[in-house]
Amino acid sequence: MKFRNPIISGMNPDPSICRVGEDFYLVTSTFEYFPGIPIYHSRDLVHWEMIGHCLTRNSQVKLVTGAPNCLNIYAPTIRWHNGVFYVIVTCVNGDNHGNFLVTTTDPTGTWSDPLELPFPGIDPSLFFDDDGKVYYHGTDQNVYLWEVDLKTGSAIGERHWIWQGTGANNPEGPHIYKINGMYYFLVAQGGTELCHMSVIARSKSLYGPYESCPHNPVLTNIGRSLPIKAIGHADLIDDPMGNWWAVCLGNRPLGYPFRHNLGRETMLAPVRWENGWPIIGENGAVLPEFESTSELPEYKPKGYVPGSAVHDRFCGDALHPSWNYIYNPVPGLITLTGSSLHLLGNAVSLSEDAPKTWLGRRQEHITCTAQMTMQFSPKEDGEEAGLTIYMNPGHHYEIAYTRMGGQNVVILRRRIGSLQAIEAKIPCAANHLTLYLACNRERYAFSYAADEGDLIPVGSGETSYLTTEVGGCFTGNFIAMYASGNGKNCTVTAEVISFNYDPIAE
């Protein structure tokens, strides 16, 4: 089986995986975006489809503003036991790190309301031992283990501090496995930047002492001249044929100096066992392409495949699964009519950290295009609707149709930290516009067409300024449609007729 990384592109960090028979299920972190925690399904580990989300109701989670890209939904773990799927996760709301659990018997359906857990720290995981006991393990500066009652969410007994990794900073994302009678403890460390890695230890007893693997770290791309960097935060899984695999996060820098704009993505590597220890990938490295001796039957998804082209005409009563809100959706701002999408701008601008009229999808390819066609006629100064490439409130570029000084104009605006400027302003009297974004390694370029005329270039901005290393934290760039009254509610609605996202092979 030959495959390329990433297997799930765009912002999909902290992957966790489980298997039920021939079916694999995978979840990733979502931070301030809603719905929370996408669920992906596959049968060959290479071809994935999005089958839903765990957090789809405002009653399940309250996403908070402040320190964008650094808060809210962290590092979920998915496990299956006795017919039930469990997803355990942290919601970081400033100083409060609340851990909770949601469950379902059907991952394509709805998930339960959260069961709050009393355990401190972040990056929780669950381990079901052979004796029927269940254990919570996570990080609270260091890694710990605590028995848990999954019916009540209460802790049983005392907390146990166990193996802390090999000494690098920021131990995170711990997972426990029982393989051939031995307990294996996998931990990420080194921080989630270029020094990220995963290390492993084993013991005959759950509480240890644990023996560190002699060739730790078992997973890292440190010191390798590879186009994938920051490999770590892994989870292990076996397939129905007895082969083992690792899913992990990594990023794809645009060039040197290393800067990445898509966020941390989900990677896959084969695992072989030697002397009771895992050898992941190519001696611990994750390559952009692997040739594996495993031959799982090719899976052909029937639903939405991340990384594929999407041409959305907004028909029906449900949004395409690739769309996301920032924070919990505000009723009335974004509405499906059955044949189009209506955006009613509130007073919040793109540069404010608050719920806004914004509907975005992950930028999944370094080279791609996006096109939005809408009908909109602003009546008051400040009313605008447009298309943005968006990292956070302090870092975004957009093309918009707005009203300034009593005149309707197409503008190109760029925000880079505390610097903001309107770099182009073109008078335009059309009601029907197409806004166009072309993305590559060097630039984000914007064009527009009025009343189905030819595309007119407006301007561009450097890709490097919309990267995690320049202005981000834990997420990647989103391509979003938006509307705003920039200080007051809009008096008119933007009607979006269509949206196209098309990848371009480099």
Residue 478 and residue 361 in contact, taking contact as beta carbons nearer than 8 Å: yes
Beta-bridge mates of residue 492: none
Q: Which residues are catalytic?
A: 14, 172
How is 215-259 classified by DSSP, letter by letter? Answer: T--SB--TT---S-EEEEEEEEEE-TTS-EEEEEEEE--SSTTT-
Q: Is the pLDDT of residue 253 over 90?
A: yes
Encoded amino acid at 112, one letter: S
pLDDT of amino acid 95? 63
* C-alpha–C-alpha distance, residues 495 and 372, integer Å: 11
Residue 57 and residue 18 in contact, taking contact as beta carbons nearer than 8 Å: no
Average pLDDT over residues 317-322: 96
User: 417-443 pLDDT, tens per residue?
Assistant: 999 999 999 999 998 999 999 999 999
Q: What is the mean pLDDT of the chain?
A: 96
Q: Rg of the Cα trace of the chain?
A: 23
Residue with tokens 């527009």: 448
Q: Is the pLDDT of residue 96 over 80?
A: no
User: 380-428 pLDDT, tens per residue?
Assistant: 999 999 999 999 999 999 999 999 999 999 999 999 999 999 999 999 9
Q: At 464, list the tokens.
A: 């490097």
Q: What is the pTM assigned to this prediction?
A: 0.97
Provide φ and ψ at 470, rounded to 5°.
-90, -45
Average pLDDT over residues 5-15: 98
Residue 476 and residue 11 in contact, taking contact as beta carbons nearer than 8 Å: yes
Q: Is the pLDDT of residue 494 over 70?
A: yes
pLDDT of amino acid 268? 98
Which range, of 16-20, 80-84, 164-168, 334-338, averages the lowest pLDDT?
164-168
User: 190-235 pLDDT, tens per residue?
Assistant: 999 999 999 999 999 999 999 999 999 999 999 999 999 999 999 9
* C-alpha–C-alpha distance, residues 328 and 93, integer Å: 14
Where does 13-169 show beta strands of DSSP type E?
Answer: 16-20, 23-27, 33-34, 36-42, 49-55, 72-81, 84-93, 96-104, 115-117, 122-128, 134-140, 142-148, 155-161
* C-alpha–C-alpha distance, residues 110 and 103, integer Å: 9
Say if strands 265-274 and 244-251 run parallel, antiparallel, or are unpaired: antiparallel
* C-alpha–C-alpha distance, residues 390 and 251, integer Å: 18
Q: Is 463 helix (H, G, I), strand (E, B) or coil?
A: helix
Q: Is the pLDDT of residue 342 over 90?
A: yes
Q: At 76, list the tokens.
A: 């979920």
The percent of residues in the chain predicted with pLDDT above 90, rounded, is 95
* C-alpha–C-alpha distance, residues 90 and 170, integer Å: 16
